Structure 1
């Protein structure tokens, strides 16, 4: 069997990154995974979705991704780059030590630009797929539906509030603008494609405990806390997307023909789903677990709705998006499995 094309991926130990890695391997690609710590990344080979494809995956350590020329060696001979790694909203960075530029802006921008510069030095690179976010978008006055090119204003770093979600959104806008400028100001021999996921939900295979699923900073965290009865006071996105669909969009963007460099594709299930519908889906799919208290429910979460238009993604990339029941089945199903396993082992 001939070997598939070589792909370099960042962020493969994360939620979106792992799902994308697993799909790339399943589709026959050879994948080179970057990590700050080689030993940590290599543990991915033992997970069920990766183990059958162990011969197709390799790992490279990049201790400081912000360093000049950090990626030069890592992307030698690769045809495609999938850049997913980026800071996530993390409530541990609050108070007087909250440095927006250090924790969010600098890593997001340098991650994009560092890889784009490295790709310029590698003649084998054909396309770079960058994970952005719908946080780079904003509806215009009188406009109900938001498309992939409705970009929000780019803030000055000094004006970014010291708040994890505000810092995350701002870092994505600044990183997207920096990548756009790089594409416009350089004659590239490769294409650049941006993927804009909404609020990602679904099974996260590298997570192996129910506590970690609830505590690990990610969009999954909100749904898990919600089904545990947590009453959230800040609005959370109600424009959801299944993690498997986000992975599918990344791979489809990597393979798509007739791409215009700099294009953006939204990954979101249309339409928005109010958080109360999450509880309804849990009751429908997991009635026994609700009754026995594994899923206590009673949570509250104010909705933040964007009304995203992902039709371009479906039409151009062929990805059909799954609804909220599939997301609940995936994520809450994993949580239930972990809780039941821990109870059998006497860990709860």
Structure 2
């Protein structure tokens, strides 16, 4: 298995860059699908990838538009595995209602179907691992709009929601449900030679080497934890109590290529067990781990955050893969350390 060629889409995202490094470190050869040469250069410039000196073990294919017909046909040629991470991400400010379909739903759905169709037209592919989300199997109204006593696990299923959508996160959730449903139907109808594993992360928090400007470090789901450290708030309101370290998500994607892991499964990625994440704990975590930076004012650490209890059981993932997800404390520490390093502040 080691040395075989893996195609990774979405390689310049928060999860993607960590997955490229993890796959290379595990001994795979990686072909990263990126939108431009500038994106490829950004991957090569990251310290962890550079330290591996990958040479010919890391190559790139330019896919400027994942919504184009046959977008991935060239990219899949000759690969043994596909890690499909490319998909729209929701940010704190979200999108306007007229953008829900074009910016969230269509790219998630067509991008997934495009990679599946391209894989189906070639030979030699053994497995496709897709970045799904916990919101693909947890109803929107129970995930964020109200608290319930249900403990959600990876066997939970929900119907495909119909619009119109009242919130950008609701539209994002719908995009993940629709992509998962389309994947199931594709496999059922086409019966491909390869199988599929869906990795379903919660709010992903951790360092992102693609980012070199400290002002951009609190972007996407990272803001749920780190905006308060910078003296603000995420703009998301009360955030469901589910988070996971980006390094653990990358590890799941790569280790899911192992044939010992049976295909055709969904795996949730959520830390802290049933207690879940308490987002406001970041203030205390930073005070305890970076007291000098707080004292100097490099970290205001006086913002606000709120948590909405959401009970998700990802214990089966930990059992199957044989490791425990890193704590919320480790997630916060990794982002804080990167922020301070990018800001030129010494980290003890």
Runs of 5+ unmatched residues, structure 1: 343-348
Taking the aligned partners of 1:171 and 1:19, their CA distance within structure 2 comes to 24
Q: State the 1:235 CA deviation.
A: 1.6
Cα RMSD for the two superposed structures? 2.1
SS of the counterpart of 1:148?
Answer: coil
TM-score of the aligned structures, taking structure 2 as reference length: 0.90
SS for the counterpart of 1:34 is strand
Matched, 1:160 2:162: no
C-alpha distance in 2 between matches for 1:95 and 1:101: 10
1:289 aligns with 2:289: no
Contact 1:208 / 1:338 at 8 angstroms: preserved in 2?
yes
> In the alignment, is residue 230 of structure 1 matched against residue 236 of structure 2?
no
Q: Distance in 2 between matches of 1:54 and 1:331?
A: 29
Q: Distance in 1 between matches of 2:325 and 2:77?
A: 34
Equivalence map 1:93-172=2 (5 Å): 94-95=95-96, 98-138=98-138, 144-156=150-162, 158-161=163-166, 163-172=167-176
Tell me the residue number matched to 2:277: 273
Cα 1:284–1:238 change in 2 (3 A) is same
Supply the distance in 2 between the matched residues of 1:142 and 1:324 (Cα, whole angstroms).
Answer: 22
1:257 maps onto 2:245 in alignment: no
Displacement after TM superposition at 1:142 (Å)? 7.2
What is the aligned partner in structure 2 of residue 11 from structure 1?
A: 10
After TM superposition, give the deviation of residue 86 of structure 1 in Å. 0.6
Q: Deviations over 1:4-55 (max 9, x none)?
A: 0000011110000111110001111110011121232233112211112233
Q: Could you tell me whether the CA contact under 8 Å between 1:91 and 1:164 is conserved in 2?
A: no
**Aligned-partner Cα distance in 1 for 2:319–2:227:** 35
Which deviations, in whole Å up to 9, do the C-alpha atoms of 1:262-307 show, x marking residues without a partner? x100111133121222211111111111111111122222213322
Counterpart Cα distance in 2 of 1:306 and 1:3: 38
1:50-100 Cα distance to aligned partner (Å, 9 max, x none): 11223310011112211221111111110000000111114666447x321
Structure 2, unpaired ranges of 5+: none
Rounded Cα–Cα distance in structure 1 between residues aligned with 2:42 and 2:148: 50
TM-score normalised to structure 1 length:
0.90
Check the 8 A contact 2:160/2:181 in 1, yes or no.
yes
CA distance in 1, matches of 2:34, 2:321: 29
- Residue range with higher mean Cα deviation, 122-131 or 219-228: 219-228
User: CA–CA distance in 2 between the matches of 1:305 and 1:189?
Assistant: 41
Relative distance call for 1:296 and 1:318 in structure 2 (3 A) is same
For residue 189 of structure 2, what is the aligned residue in structure 1?
A: 185
Q: For residue 333 of structure 2, what is the aligned residue in structure 1?
A: 329
